[in-house]
Every structure is written in C-alpha cells, then in structure tokens.
Amino acid sequence: MAHGEEKTETRRRIKKLLMTLIEGHAFVVLKTSPGGTVEDVLYEGVDTRMFETMWLGMSVDELPRVTPMICGVCSATHHVASVKAADQARGAEAPPEAWRIRRMINMGIHLNNQVLHPLVFGLPDFLPPSVEKRSMFALAQREPELVKAGVALMELGHRVVEVYGGRDIHPINGIPGGVARKPPREEVEKLRERFEKHRGDMELFAKKALDIMFSGKEKIDSYPPGYTYMMSLVGDDGGYDIVNGRVRIMDGRTAAVEAEFSDRGRDYLNYLHEYTVPYSYIRMVTTKWRAKNPREGTIHVSALARANAVKTYHVEWADELRDRAAEEFGRPFRHPLLSTVFRVVESAALYELIARELERPIGDPIYSPPSRDTGEGAAVIEAPRGTLIHHYVAEEGKATFINIITPTAINAAAIEADLRAYFMGLNVAEMSDDEVYAHAAAVVRSYDPCMACATHAATRDRVALRIVVADENWKPLRVLKPPRPRGW
Amino acid sequence: MPRLEPKDRYTLALVPLSGCGGCEVQALRALALAPDLQKRYEVVYWPLVVEETRLPDEVDVALVEGLVRTRENLEALREIRRRARVLIALGSCAAWGGIGGNADSFNHRLSMRAIYGVERIEESAEILPRTFAVTDLVPVDYVISRCPPPVEHIMLTLRAIAEGKPVKTADSTVCSQCPRKMKPIEKLEFKPGLPGPDADPETCFLSQGYLCLGSVTTMGCGAPCTRHGIPCFGCGGPHHEIAERRDMDIITALARKIATLAGLDPVKDLDRVVKKLLEVYNPRRFYVFTFASQVLRGKPHGFAVKALVESRRDPVLRKRLEERARFARGEAPPPSPGGGEA
Amino acid sequence: MVKIRIIQDRCKQCMNCVRVCTAFDGVYEEGPDGYPVVARPEECVQCLICHAVCPSNAIVHEDYHETVIINPDEKLAERYRNYI
C-alpha cells in the first residue's frame, strides 16, 4: 500500500538489535527520528526468573546453594557473596582460614571468566570484519596457540573452583559460619603442579591477547565513554581484593573518590538507588544523589573500574602490564573497550595470586557455628564483571527479604550511556545494518554483560533485527519485516 | 530412538531459553575439550559463541537449555522442535524446570510487583503465568539432566549420536556413588538446615537425621556434594522409576527408605514418616529442582501441588511480598529483622 | 524361579532389603562381607518392596517378566510375552 508506506516515512522508528557473543540475551533498541537520526538508545533485558521472591519462606542457610543458579558463568561469585551475606544474617563470624578457601573459590572463577571473555567474546571482535561468523572457533583458526593456551587456563580456573568449592559450576562448599570441608591435600598438590606447568601458557596468552588489542588502538579509541561514575571494591590496604574491603564510587572522568562505604550491612542502600524502567527486565541502578535524574548517575563496574581504583594487584608483572596500558592510553582508563585489556591483566595477576595461595597449607578452624537465626546481612563483593550485592533478612532461620544487585544491572545504565555517547546524532539510515550492529555489539560486549545475572534470567528471540514504526510518543504502530542481510 | 543418516559432519545448534548459561558453558567445554566432536559437529547457531542470529531451517542436533518463562521462549522452543531432527533437553531446567520453577511458589503478578514494583514490564517480553519444563511442552529425544550437566555426559551423548550408537542411561541413584556409610536410624528425628563440619563425615546424612535427596536422585555426578559435607539437593532430578511410576513421588519414595532404615514398616508407617518430614521441612524443599515439572505435579498424592498451593496461600508470605513491593517502589526501606520497619 | 542379583558396586550395605522382605523367612541375609546375600530366592513372592526401599536401585530381579505370566494357554501367553 503506497499510502501506508508514505505515512511510515514520516514516522519515528525503533530498531532492535539482538546481541550475540555475550552471556545471555539482550537487545539494543535504537529510537530514530523519521530521517533516521538516533534520538535515544535503550538496552533491554528480556526476562526474569524471580530469584528475589522464589526462596522467601525457605531456610536462609540454603541460599548459598540456590543463588549460584542465577548465573552459570560466575556462579562461584554468587556463592561467595551469598555466604558472606548469610554469615551476617545468622550472626556468624567466619574464621580467616575459611575466608582463604572462599577467596580461592572467587579467584578461581575470576581467572576462568577473565580468560573466557577475551577468548570467546572479546577478541573475536578484533578480528577483521571480513571473517565470516566471528567466533572463538574462527579465532582458533587464526591463532591456534592463543586459543589453546586460553582453553587450558579456563580449565585451570574451573579446577580451582572444583577443588575448593566442591563443584566447578554451582559450588557448594560455603555454609554460613565458614566452609564445610578443607580441600584434600593431594588435590591441592595436583593443582599446584598444574599451575607450575601452565605458567608458559599464561605468559603466551597475556602477550598475544594484549598485542592484538593494542594493535586495535584506534578501535578502542573510537568508542567514547558515556558513564558518569565508576565503582569498585578495594582491599583494606588499597590493593586488589575481590572479596573483602571497602566500596568506592569514583568520578568517571578523573577517577577521584566520590564516596566510600562498607561492604557489609545496609550501607549500600545509602549510596545506590534501584529503579524500574518500562522497557527492560533489568532493575537499573544509579547513585542515590542522582536518583531524581538517574541518567546522570550511571555507574560503570568492571575490570576497568578496578584497574582505576586499586593501587596494586600485588603482582609485579600485572602492575607492569597495567603501566604499559597507561603508556598507550593514559590514565585514568576510561574507554569502555579497555575493559577487555584489564581482564587480561587481571588474569595474569590472578594466576600468580592463586599459585602463591596454593603454596600455603590451610589450617584450622574453618567453621564457627552461627549464633542467631533472626538477623540481616548484606554483602558486596567483586564478580568478574563488577560489583555484586546480596542482601538477606532472615527470621527464625527463614528468608523474609532478598535483594540482589548484579554487576550487569549496574552496568546496564552505563552501557546505555556509552551507546548514547556513540550513536546520538548519527544517522543510522545511512549506515548499513551490519555496521550499526557491529558498533552496538562492540560496546555491549566490552562490558561482558551477563544477562542471566542482570535479569536473573535470559531468553532469546528469533528476530535479530526488529524495526518498529512508532508515533510521536514512541507507541509502536507497526512492525516492519527486517531485510535478510547475509551473515547475520 | 531417532537415527540420523550417516554423515561426516552434523550441524549443531544450542537454543538457550530462560536459564543461567551454566549448561552452555558445559557444552562449550565439552566441545573445546573434545577435538573429535569439533570435527563431527558444526555449530550453526549458538548466541554465546557464534555471531549468528538466525536459526537455520534445518538442524541435525539441537540442544535446548533453560525453562520456558516467556511467550518468546515458547515460540523459540516450538520453532527449534520443528527444525531439529534430534532435540536434547540439556540440564535440569529443560528437563524438570530446574531452579527457575521455584518462581511458581507465588503468583507471577505478585512476584513481579515484589521485584519491580509494577505488574508488567510494558515494552518487553510477556511473562507466562507459570513456568514450564521443556520436556512437558514438546517431545524431546534425549534428556541430559543435572545442574549443571557433567561435561562427560554431553561428550558421550554427542559422540554416541554422531556414531549412531545407543546412549547409556542412568539406572541408579546418587547413593551408589556416595562414599558415606548408611547406618540404621535409632531415633526418627529430623534436623532442619545444613550440617556443619561437625557432622560425622563418614555416616550417611539420612542416618544422622539431615534431609538428603541422594537416594531418590538419578546418578551421574559422582556425589560431590555429600563428599563435601553438604546433603544432596536433588539437582539431577528424580530417579526414572519415581518419574515413571504413578504410585511413587519424591517424598513417599524417600519416606519409604527412611522408614526402613529406622526399622519401621515402609508401607504401614509411610504416612507417619511423611507427616514427620513435612513438619520439619517445607514441602518445597523436596522439589527444589522439579517444582515446575508436570510429571511431579501430576502425581496422585499431589505433594508438589499441595506445596504450590500452600506457599501461594500463605498470608505471612503475601505480607512479605507486599513489603518487598513497597521497597521496590522506593517507598520503604527493607524490613528489619524481628518485625517492624527500620 | 526368579533370579535375584545384588549389584555390589551400587550397594550401600544399609540392609534395608534384609529388614523389609515380606517373604516368610526373608529372602535376604547379611553376608560375611557386610553385603546382603540372596539366601533363599525360592521364597521370593515378588512384591518388589525391596526395590522401593533400596536407596541405590542395586537389586535386580532377573527373568521377572517371564514368571509373572501365569496362563495355561500357551498361545495367549506367547502373545502377552510379546507385549511385555
């Protein structure tokens, strides 16, 4: 119908892009004027699994068994956060030796994830666009050694979680008050030997991965940062610590500390504000003092924020790699795509930290019994993707309130802000769909968004690109059939 | 058993529904660690690892992960069933509903209000009123259960399918792989909560009075949880006999075993033991990974349905949900422990 | 007669089968090595309660299907055997 088509030309359009090569499923929604100029960019998570209500009325002790299932990629981090919160709710003080085991669980999954992201999601992005179906398997054909080393490191990370946490995915060892069992000595010894053996792999991986990314400097520079704040957990000595410490909110431009709060208890509620948006199942997060105007308080959490916040990684080599990145890109580190660089740097640091920790045998005690069954606890720890918060209230041993803020929920607003910084004012009607998709995906992937975490769920859609014609108030009028571009 | 025509290379797709991605990681590891599988299978669709957003018209082998939570999930599932020759339900969510099935404990509208402060997210996917396991909605050819499914199971299954051989199935329970010693129960008593490291590491949890679902859960994991001093939560789903037989349910099958261990009659004293179990434990606790499954909801005793109804009707929990909704809307701080608002 | 087999790899030595057997004298007995042994298989009435209480599904009644078909008519029996 000619008349109808004519009419749609004057209407606004919404473009939806399904993101691939991320954990879980998300859409980037581009809202354009009739001419095709981008007026707004939204980031949509498409589902919920209701983790915050499903365990109400059940035993709070069992939460560390249940919450890891929020996310299969960083389940160990959820486990440790959950145990840390349940500790407080049950009035138990875990002994330092138990904390060492818990820290190892978290470090193992960090090592795995910080290698997994560059390998599976990050580096394929740096492959030339001419390569069809960019993926880890495509990367393996060009850089077989890199992928082989990376796969070995990923397995090592999983092994650490398995030995210390009981299972590689969804670990179980932590219980309120400590841990259930010490890792058997012979397993630790085996692991130590493997860490000795794969040291060469780590060096090769870090070197090759950083080389690829440094050679793509223009690509990194071309995506401007749009977020306002950065947030990270910093150890008590100001160094790298992913389990205990203080939480810092820093200015996104200068990395100056804006606020600092405790990693335990209700304190986080005084600084962070959650809000619901009508287009996404992610509860967005902003700073409390920008609650009136949430888009001005977007927070970036990731390896990038940690690299800015911590004084040292406690590992010389990792500090040197960070200095090398500082020479290339200048401090503070701000470009969102730089996160992938610091994931590699962190993996180097973690490798060394884990190897050191494996040398020291674990002593006693590993458990102190809980003292109460009515209480409250909140825990802030670092997940591979950023800061993770679990908050429980228990009455007579039963959970009565559960709140979980995941790193990707915090990052969602920052992703939007970065996408806006890139796309606002651009005319997407003049760009090819492939191009639009590639730019959006590059920004989104750099955050390593874990959609299973963010919405406590994940889903998919058959339609990769959905164009909706909308009226002045963005009310959808009609869905246009997408063109069938090759290689999508 | 479906048979594929012999080919050098089969196409493989992995369709994630509402899940955590753990199964995807395991499948990725299976492929990464087995070069022979990389030769036999070509990944044509898998949002996690391949930059490809269109499902091909025909797929030889498709894996489905996660449970059905939204209408999009449902459509995606029907679509992949239509296009796949062999469909494998991967993980507990696809097989039994998994942990996400617990969301059915409450009305989905109340839950949405409690989490988001609103009943519907207007511009995003539509939430279905209940959750579904994949196996309840479409016929599947294989089920690789467990949360997460062990890498070896995925490897064995994919390899057997590629070679056209039958796949071995699990016939026993987690107990057969657990090193703990079963001893007679002297006094029939149950302890709530998890055992600490002070519990006897050599003796079966049932003998010590803790709830362990090992004896009703299908084998294959190597019992890592009980080895680590944590009772089994039943992540593998019920043993196939419990799933198949109308007269067996997770609670009754477990109660029969406990009763015999305590020297009681497994038939005559069954009701007594079941009653005692339900006094101490919330009925939902027996269905942590199987709450959404129609297989268990359809059992004649109806323990799963009773658990569902009880938690939905519980006035205290409703109050909690309302409290949480006020917090989600930013109107009130979270409730402080011991009642009242901080 | 039914052949009863106990798969020792799976057996938890809980003696649930010894305790529960409904046969007059009891089919199972605790053996010297701690595993239950099938002492009187001829007593078995095939109530299969031992299957229900075994925690690890370690008991197998072999040839079970053939013995349940009690029908004087050979042809009819043959037909049913095919069904099972």
Classify residue A424: in a domain, yes or no. Answer: no
Residues B141, B282 within the same domain: no
Look at residue A393 and tell me whether its pLDDT is greater than 70: yes
Residues A248, A347 within the same domain: yes
Classify residue A365: in a domain, yes or no. Answer: no
Residue C34 near chain B (CB below 8 Å): no
Classify residue A196: in a domain, yes or no. Answer: yes
Residues A283, A305 within the same domain: yes
| Chains in contact with B, counting 3 or more C-beta pairs less than 8 Å apart as contact | A, C
Residue C54 near residue B258, CB atoms below 8 Å: no
Residues A378, A468 within the same domain: no
Q: Is the CB of C15 less than 8 angstroms away from the CB of B183?
A: no
Residues A299, A439 within the same domain: no
What would the mean pLDDT of C12-38 be, rounded to a whole number? 90
Classify residue A416: in a domain, yes or no. Answer: no
Q: Give the model confidence (pLDDT) of B267-304 as tens digits.
A: 899 999 999 999 999 999 999 999 999 999 999 888 99
Residues B153, B195 within the same domain: no
Q: Give the model confidence (pLDDT) of B203-261 as tens digits.
A: 999 999 999 999 999 998 889 999 989 999 999 999 988 988 888 899 999 999 999 99
What would the mean pLDDT of B166-175 be, rounded to a whole number? 88
Q: Is the CB of C57 less than 8 angstroms away from the CB of B172?
A: yes
Distance in angstroms (rounded) separating the CA atoms of residues C12 and A91: 38
Span of A12-16, A84-88, B175-179, C4-8 with lowest mean pLDDT? A12-16
Fold of C3-83: Alpha-Beta Plaits (3.30.70)
Residues B156, B178 within the same domain: no
Residue C53 near chain B (CB below 8 Å): yes
Residues A146, A35 within the same domain: no
Task: Please enumerate in sequence order all residues whose Cβ is within 8 A of that of A210, keeping only pairs 6 or more positions apart, or say none.
Answer: A321, A324, A325, A341, A344, A345
CATH code, domain carrying B59: 3.40.50.700
Percent of chain A with pLDDT over 90: 50
- Separation in Å, CA of C77 to nearest CA in chain B: 25
| Choice between B180 and C81, residue whose per-residue pLDDT is larger | B180
Among partner residues A54, A61, A366, which is closest to B194 by beta-carbon distance? A61
Residue B210 near residue B199, CB atoms below 8 Å: yes
What pLDDT does B324 receive? 93
Residue A247 near residue A263, CB atoms below 8 Å: yes
C47: left (phi over 0), alpha (psi -120 to 50) or beta: alpha
Residues B148, B43 within the same domain: yes
Within 8 A of B233 by CB-CB distance, chain A residues are 62, 65
The token duo for A390 is 């679990």
Q: Give the model confidence (pLDDT) of A104-146 as tens digits.
A: 999 999 999 999 888 877 787 777 766 666 677 778 888 889 9
Classify residue B181: in a domain, yes or no. Answer: yes
Phi/psi for B27 (5° steps) reads -65, -40
CB contacts < 8 A (B, C): 62
Within 8 A of C9 by CB-CB distance, chain B residues are 176
Flag whether C touches A (3+ CB pairs, 8 A cutoff): no
Number of domains chain A is built from = 2
Q: Is the CB of C57 less than 8 angstroms away from the CB of B171?
A: yes
Percent of chain A with pLDDT over 70: 85
Residue C5 near chain B (CB below 8 Å): no
Classify residue A229: in a domain, yes or no. Answer: yes
Q: Give the model confidence (pLDDT) of A268-326 as tens digits.
A: 999 999 999 888 888 889 999 988 888 888 999 999 999 999 999 999 999 999 999 99
pLDDT band at A481; cut points 50, 70, 90:
very low
Q: Give the model confidence (pLDDT) of A452-474 as tens digits.
A: 555 443 333 333 345 455 555 55
Within 8 A of B225 by CB-CB distance, chain A residues are 166-167, 172
Number of domains chain B is built from = 2
- Separation in Å, CA of B259 to nearest CA in chain C: 9
Residue of C nearest to B185 (CA): C14
Range of the domain at B23: 10-98+133-163
What would the mean pLDDT of C37-43 be, rounded to a whole number? 90
Look at residue A260 and tell me whether its pLDDT is greater than 90: yes
Residue A405 near chain B (CB below 8 Å): no
| Choice between A413 and A33, residue whose per-residue pLDDT is larger | A413
Residues B14, B159 within the same domain: yes
Residues A64, A42 within the same domain: no
Within 8 A of A461 by CB-CB distance, chain B residues are 72, 76
Residue boundaries of the structural domains of chain C: 3-83
The token duo for B277 is 């179990």
Within 8 A of C52 by CB-CB distance, chain B residues are 248, 253, 256, 266
| Nearest residue to A73 via CA among B238, B80, B16 | B16
Residue of A nearest to B93 (CA): A69
Task: Please enumerate in sequence order all residues whose Cβ is within 8 A of that of B46, keeping only pairs 6 or more positions apart, or say none.
Answer: B12, B13, B14, B24, B52
The token duo for B278 is 């339900």
Q: Give the model confidence (pLDDT) of B83-115 as tens digits.
A: 999 999 999 999 999 999 999 999 999 999 999
Residue B226 near chain C (CB below 8 Å): no
Among partner residues A19, A135, A269, which is closest to B333 by beta-carbon distance? A269
This model of the complex carries an ipTM of: 0.93
Range of the domain at A335: 51-360+372-408
Classify residue A230: in a domain, yes or no. Answer: yes
Residue C60 near chain B (CB below 8 Å): no
Among partner residues C7, C10, C53, which is closest to B256 by beta-carbon distance? C53
In the sheet that holds B10-16, the strands lie side by side as B41-45, B10-16, B59-65, B84-90, B142-144
- Separation in Å, CA of A311 to nearest CA in chain B: 33
What pLDDT does B300 receive? 87
What pLDDT does A144 receive? 87
Distance in angstroms (rounded) separating the CA atoms of residues A411 and A282: 10
Determine the longest span between alpha carbons in chain A, in angstroms.
80
Q: Is the CB of A66 less than 8 angstroms away from the CB of B105?
A: no
- Residue found by looking up tokens 């890498």 in the block: B151
Using DSSP, how many helices (H) and how many strands (E) does chain C show?
4, 4
Distance in angstroms (rounded) separating the CA atoms of residues A82 and A451: 19
What pLDDT does A4 receive? 39
Query: In degrees, to the nearest 5, what angle opens at C-alpha A355 toward C-alphas A349 and A358?
Result: 140
Residues A447, A323 within the same domain: no
Q: Give the model confidence (pLDDT) of B124-150 as tens digits.
A: 788 899 999 999 999 999 999 998 899
Q: Give the model confidence (pLDDT) of A1-29 as tens digits.
A: 334 344 445 566 666 666 655 666 677 88
Average confidence score pLDDT of chain A: 84
Residue C21 near chain B (CB below 8 Å): no
**Three-class DSSP category at A160:** helix
Q: Give the model confidence (pLDDT) of A206-229 as tens digits.
A: 999 998 888 888 888 888 888 999
Residue B198 near residue A181, CB atoms below 8 Å: no
CATH code, domain carrying A350: 1.10.645.10
- Separation in Å, CA of B173 to nearest CA in chain A: 18
Q: Contacts from A270-278 at CB under 8 Å and sequence distance 24+?
A: A271/A247, A272/A299, A272/A389, A272/A405, A272/A410, A273/A297, A273/B330, A274/A405, A274/A409, A274/B328, A274/B330, A275/B330, A276/B116, A276/B117, A276/B118, A276/B121, A276/B328, A278/B118, A278/B121, A278/B122, A278/B123
Give the torsion through C-alpha atoms of B215, B221, B226, B229, to 10 deg.
Answer: -160
What pLDDT does A488 receive? 29
Residues A273, A317 within the same domain: yes
Classify residue B242: in a domain, yes or no. Answer: yes
| Nearest residue to B220 via CA among B24, B81, B38, B26 | B26
Residues B281, B254 within the same domain: yes
Look at residue B321 and tell me whether its pLDDT is greater than 50: yes
Residues B75, B17 within the same domain: yes
A330: left (phi over 0), alpha (psi -120 to 50) or beta: left
Q: Is the CB of B327 less than 8 angstroms away from the CB of A403?
A: yes
